[in-house]
Amino acid sequence: MSQNDLNSPAKPNFANRMLRGLTREIIVPVSMALVVIFFVIQAFKIPSGSMEDTLLVGDFLLGLKFVYGSPIPFSEKRLPGLQSPEPGDIIIFRYPGDPETPEYDPNRFTHLANLLMFGNLYWDKTPSESEHHLVHYPLGPRDFIKRCIAKSGQVIQVKNGILHIDGKPHVVPGMGKYMAQFREPTPRDFFGPLRVPFKGDTLKLDQLPIVQLWFARSLMMQENPHEQVLLDVQLIGPKGPETDFDFEHFRAPIMQHKGLLINELISQVSSDERHSLHLGDTIEGRMSFAFFRDHARTGFISQAFQPGALIRTVGYDAFDPTQLEDLERNVQALGNGYHLQYTVLENGKPIHQYVVQQPVFFMMGDNRDNSADSRFWGFVSFRNIKAKAAIVYFSFDNADDVFSFTNPVSWVTIPFKIRWLRFGKLIQDIGRPWE
């Protein structure tokens, strides 16, 4: 063996070289990317027109998590933030109209993985004979994006479609708009006045009207994800609770946000009559009280997803609380001592008051007449807030659906559908500022 051989360093074997390359090229970059995704930023795509024209359908955004405090892994806590959410901020948050776990049962379902754009995977500990252990929750819990228009202590009211905050009319910020030619008796046009509760406020549940009680129950569910909070609705008649009751002539106005109720009533009329119906018309039909009782318990309505071969897929829609106002009007029309009784149940036990645990916010879309927001599904707890929307990094306009990945011929339209001028736009600089 020569002196040069003794002095030369030993060459790493093939396995070591592969491990170093794998670490340098894949493990480290992926780990850093996951840290950034978890603690720093959130990507979000605008799916609907509720924030137009501040944010457009097809805008891709980056939200900054650390502004309000990044989440701490495997806990309900978060790191200190740079600021608290303020009115005027455009915020990405977990939609309070979805259960955080399938079937609203955290004891039965164990979270396995966050699939980012593809939802979440859960393990069902006690499936039925026809169900699978592995459960895919592709759409939830969903993230929404709206503008914070009020925080704890402020009073919200909508008069004839115009937002009032603490009694003063407020212009639409950003590039938002009103569209309606006439105003309808819906929460979009007539709402409140409603005070946003403070952390520490005691909500007296027995004294709240039904929509405010619905908002309070939703807030409780957000702040107590490991408890089961239900709304029990009972119809009390002259002889006591009515367990099996049908309204012979249930009347309700046709409104888009009351789709479940209206579809039940419309299914009873002929096709000719359906063609003559319009928004705002009153429709009448037979209606079961059980429809309202069952939907009101959690507010989450199961979607009809088909199970796969090795995985069960679940999904949920939200029940609109204004349908309970229709129920109240029809119960009053019965007379003879009929009335409704509402009870909030926490793990099966009635509770009559609740102390708010975290700061609370009220969200609205800039496109005020085309936005399902806090006017319909209530307050957003600080616990549900995820990121402050910061910048548009890409924008693609495919409103005409001409472009399709499955149609290579349509790919030639890509350069003409990209909104080049929106790249890099700071969201806070789009349109009118919050005042």
For residue range 410-425, list pLDDT tens digits in order.
Answer: 889 989 999 999 999 9
Instruction: Indicate whether 41 pLDDT > 80.
Output: no
Is the per-residue pLDDT at 178 higher than 90? no
Does the structure show a pLDDT above 70 at 159?
Answer: yes
Spatial CB neighbours of 372, under 8 Å, sequence gap ≥ 6: 50, 257, 365
DSSP per residue over 12-42, as a string?
P-HHHHHHHHHIIIIIHHHHHHHHHHHHTEE
Let me know if residue 156 belongs to a domain: no
- 2 has a pLDDT exceeding 60: no
What is residue 19's predicted lDDT score, i.e. its pLDDT?
Answer: 66
Query: What value does the mean pLDDT take over residues 283-291?
Result: 92
Structural domain includes residue 37 = no
Stretch 278-283: mean pLDDT: 84
The torsion angles phi and psi of 144, rounded to 5 degrees, stand at: -115, 165
Asked if the structure places residue 60 within a domain, the reply is no
- The CB density around residue 335, as the number of other CB atoms within 10 Å, is 7
Strand residues in 80-206 grouped as ranges (E): 90-94, 109-114, 120-124, 134-137, 143-151, 155-159, 162-165, 168-169, 191-195, 202-204
Per-residue pLDDT, 179 = 83
Residue for token digits 């030639």?
412
Out of 30-39, 186-195, 215-224, 322-331, least confident range:
30-39
> 287 near 246, Cβ under 8 Å?
yes
The answer to whether position 295 is within a domain reads yes
For 389, other C-beta atoms within 10 Å of its C-beta total 26
Residues contacting 28, CB < 8 A, separation 6+: none
Show the domain range for 334: 202-355
d(CA 210, CA 342): 8
Q: How many domains does the chain have?
A: 1
Instruction: State how far the alpha carbon of 286 is from the alpha carbons of 90, 248, 301, 341, 352, in Å.
Output: 43, 5, 21, 22, 33
pLDDT tens per residue across span 359-373: 999 999 999 999 999
Tell which residue, 233, 217, 190, 227, has the closest CA to residue 318: 217
Contact present, 131 and 152 (Cβ < 8 Å): no
Q: Is the pLDDT of residue 5 over 80?
A: no
Confidence of residue 386 (pLDDT cuts 50, 70, 90): very high
Could you tell me the maximum CA-CA distance found in the chain, to the nearest angstrom? 110
Asked if residue 315 belongs to a domain, the reply is yes
Q: Is the pLDDT of residue 243 over 70?
A: yes
The residues pairing with 120 across neighbouring beta strands, listed in sequence order, are 114, 137
How does pLDDT run across 68-117, given as a tens digit for each residue?
A: 988 877 677 888 889 999 999 999 999 998 998 898 888 899 988 877 66
Tell me whether residue 215 is in a domain: yes
Measured between alpha carbons, how far is 47 from 317 in angstroms, rounded to an integer? 16
Separation CA 306–CA 432 (nearest Å): 45
* Interatomic CA distance for residues 305 and 313, integer angstroms: 6
Domain-embedded: residue 67? no
State yes or no: pLDDT of 38 exceeds 60: no
What secondary structure does DSSP assign to 51-110, as a single string?
TTTTS-TTEEEEEESTTT-PBPTTSS-BPPPSS---TT-EEEEE-TTS-SSGGG-TTTEE
Q: Two tokens at 129?
A: 């004979």
Could you read off the pLDDT of 294-342 as tens digits, one per residue?
999 999 988 877 766 678 888 998 899 999 999 999 999 998 889 999 9
Which amino acid is present at 229?
V
CA-nearest of 50, 371, 382 to 196 is 382
* H-helix or E-strand spanning residue 416: helix 414-417
Amino acid identity at 433: P
The residues, any chain, with a CB within 8 Å of residue 89's CB and separated by 6 or more, are 147, 148, 388, 389
Element (H, E) at 350: strand 349-351
Angstrom distance (rounded) from CA 144 to CA 46: 9
Q: How far apart are the first and last CA of the chain?
A: 83
What is the chain's mean pLDDT, rounded? 87
pTM for this structure?
Answer: 0.86
What is the rounded distance in angstroms from the CA atom of residue 343 to the CA atom of residue 348?
10
Torsion sign, CA atoms 205, 109, 65, 163: negative
Give 181 or 127, the one with higher predicted confidence.
127
Q: Are 205 and 369 in contact (CB under 8 A)?
A: no
Q: Give the CA distances from residue 353 to residues 201, 216, 356, in Å, rounded to whole numbers and listed in that order.
A: 10, 10, 10
**Is 375's pLDDT higher than 70?**
yes
Asked whether residue 98 is domain-assigned, the answer is no
Task: Quickly tell me which residue has 């393990």 as its tokens.
Answer: 123
Q: Please give the average per-residue pLDDT across 18-29, as a whole number.
A: 61
For the chain, the residue count is: 435
